[in-house]
Structure 1
Amino acid sequence: MNEKTQVALLSVVSNTFLTFSKVVIGLASGSMSILSEGIHSGIDLVAAFIALFAVRQSGKPADSCHAYGHGKIENVSGTIEAALIFVAALMIIFEAFKKIMEIIYGQGGHVSDLGLSLGLLVMGVSAITNLIVSTRLMKVAKRTDSVALEADALHLRTDVFTSVGVFIGLLLIKITGWTILDPIIALGVALMIIKASIDLTKKAFAPLVDVSLPDEEREIIAEVLLLHADEFVEFHKLRTRKAGAERHIDLHLVVPKYTPVVDVHELCDRIELEINVRLHLAFVLIHAEPCSTRDVECPVEDGLASVCQRCRLDPETGSQKPEVRNQGLIKG
């Protein structure tokens, strides 16, 4: 069992315990805020199972049906998790408003002293447990670039804040006796959950529509290319996308027209290797093409100096001119 699977399983175990505790105490005490936290943890439990499935499936190698691997399974799982917690937030809002109406019209809203005491205990335990587990999940998610684990960690990190909020609210109810604070706190929990679901949707869904890599990662690719600027003319049609933890990069590399194929191949290999060193799980595809423009040819009989000049290289050093160096990045 690899590290990603281990931490995903840890999340399943912790959420199972917390969901059971919160729901039982919430129903027994009649506390809407405790019950809303139980619903939240229940959704986290479903999300933890989805994350566990996703990390196990995404680690499978490419096959005949999935030639580019299974990385996007993590993005699909993250999107599903975001939808689930959004639905949970709507459920909490509905129940909270219902509870407020009952209190206003004197039809309920009482929270027992025992329920308050047990609620304070379970909220404290929940906050500490989720802080430990979410920190562990986030460390592994960042190290392995796992969207599924990061989504699970964000869920639990949100649960930490909401648990602390409910803890403070229950303490105020115990001191003041104002039971209307209970559904109001539940509404606050729901709003925090909605924000978390929106943030998670943005992060998980973007790779499903092949959004380009972030600017800082594209700059790293350009930096690697420019280290070899004296060996090629220019690069263009730089395209990037991400699938789970995998980065897919392809570009066109223009080389002097009569460069031996073996030299071009070795150059492409070096560039691919160096990009892979700088960017985790980068799969690079380079299409090499000869220097040739519509209005200017690159005849071999004119010599290398002529070829370099016509291909916009400095004939003295063979280096690419500054205005050409950035062309691939700008066009990409």
Structure 2
Amino acid sequence: MRLEKKATVVSTSVAGALVLMKMTVGILSGSIAVLASAIDSLLDLTVSLFNYFALNTAEKNADEQFNFGRNKIEPLAAVIEGTVISLSAIFILYEALVKIFHPREVAFMQSSIWVMLVSIFITFFLVMFLNYVAKKTKNMVIKADALHYKTDLFSNSAVLIALALISMTGEQLIDPVIGIGIAIFMIYSSIPIIKEGVLMLLDAALSQEDIENIENILTNQADITDYHFLQTRESGSHIFISVHAVFNVSISLYDAHTITDKIELKIKNIFEDKIVHTIIHMDPYDDSEINEIKNEY
């Protein structure tokens, strides 16, 4: 089993245990903050299950129906995860506002505090593990999952602080106020996840730094006189690059092909943890202006 899939199995198991603990105490205590954290963990469980399905589907080989594979299910999973976080935040915000106008006392205070302490302890080690996997594999789904559980870590800490303050001061308004803060933080954290996933689904180009690295390889390749129409996109763990390289008209096809193989290898070395698909068109002269005129019609 791939490391990424193992990570989703671990996160699913942890989320399931946290849901059981938080939901029980949240319902019994009536704490909006604990209940909000329980709902968030329930959504974590759903998202982690979906992430496992997404990774399992994305690694399937290309076939007659999906000629380029199913890699885009990874950014789709990231967009769904970000959307789920946002929707859960809106629900938490609603519950917090209801409690402000219809206050009720938090019960089972000690149990709530202990549940949140255990939750923070478990989530901390899960975040460390997911960050390790995300850095090692550079997988977008795991990166989103790590960020998701990182927001949980912060929100759980906020819930614990709220319960401690209520226990010391007796002020019940602290609970919904902290709940509102958690909701706003969750929405703020979900925006980058959704944005990155949408850009990948829309075939956005690679970062400027990556493009400059590719251009440096092409510019410093002595055997080509020029290049044009450099196009890039990313799809999950796959990177697609297309470019027209201009050769001397007298070069043999064999030599030109050998040179393009060298260029492809250099480009692949830039993205060691990605699967790179490079298409280099071998032009005997600069046909960029001619092709631009054709594209206009």
CA distance in 1, matches of 2:140, 2:265: 24
Match of 2:282 in 1: 288
Question: Equivalents in 1 of 2:220, 2:129: separation in Å?
Answer: 37
Q: Secondary structure at the match of 2:278?
A: strand
1:325 is matched with none
List aligned pairs for 1:135-284, cutoff 5 A.
135-228=128-221, 230-279=222-271, 280-284=274-278
Partner Cα distance (1:18, 1:152) in 2: 16
Residues 100 and 268 (structure 1 numbering): CA distance in 2 closer, same or farther, change over 3 Å? same
How many residues are matched?
Answer: 287
Letter in 2 for 1:152: D
In structure 2, the CA distance between the partners of 1:178 and 1:271, relative to structure 1 (3 Å rule), is same
% identical equivalent positions: 31
Q: Is the 8 A contact 1:257 1:292 kept in 2?
A: no
Q: Deviations over 1:220-259 (max 9, x none)?
A: 111222331x211101100000000111000000011121
* 1:110 is aligned to 2:105: yes
One-letter identity of the residue aligned with 2:124: L
Bigger-Rg structure (1/2): 1
Q: Is the 8 A contact 2:228 2:288 kept in 1?
A: no
Distance 1:292 1:237, change over 3 A: closer
CA distance in 2: counterparts of 1:135 and 1:289, whole angstroms: 49
Deviation of 1:138 after TM superposition, in Å, equals 2.1
Corresponding residue for residue 83 of structure 2: 83
Distance 2:4 2:30 in 1: 38
The answer to whether the 8 A contact 2:229-2:288 is kept is no
Counterpart of 2:44, as a letter, is: D
Letter in 1 for 2:206: L
Runs of 4+ in 1 over 6 A off after TM superposition: none
SS of residue paired to 2:62: coil
Measured at CA, do residues 292 and 195 of structure 1 come closer, stay the same or move farther in structure 2, by a change above 3 Å? closer
TM-score, normalising length: structure 1: 0.84
Deviation at 1:292, TM superposition (A): 5.3
Q: 2:242 touches 2:279 (CA, 8 Å); kept in 1?
A: yes
CA change 1:35–1:293 in 2 (3 A) is closer
TM-score (norm 2): 0.93
Q: Partner residue of 1:26?
A: 26
Aligned CA-pair RMSD: 1.5
- CA distance in 2 between counterparts of 1:156 and 1:182 reads 21
Gaps of 5+ in 2: 290-297
Deviation at 1:97, TM superposition (A): 0.5
- Partner in structure 2 of residue 313 of structure 1: none
Structure 1 residue 37 corresponds to structure 2 residue 66: no
Give the alignment of 1:3-82 within 5 angstroms: 3-82=3-82
Structure 1 counterpart SS, 2:102: helix
- Residues 54 and 293 (structure 1), Cα distance of their counterparts in 2 relative to 1, 3 Å cut: closer
**What is the Cα deviation at residue 19 of structure 1?**
1.1
Amino acid at match of 2:193: L
Structure 1 unaligned residues grouped into runs of 5+? 104-108, 296-332
The alpha-carbon distance between structure 1 residues 209 and 292, as it changes in their structure 2 partners (threshold 3 A), is closer
Paired AA for residue 127 in structure 1: I
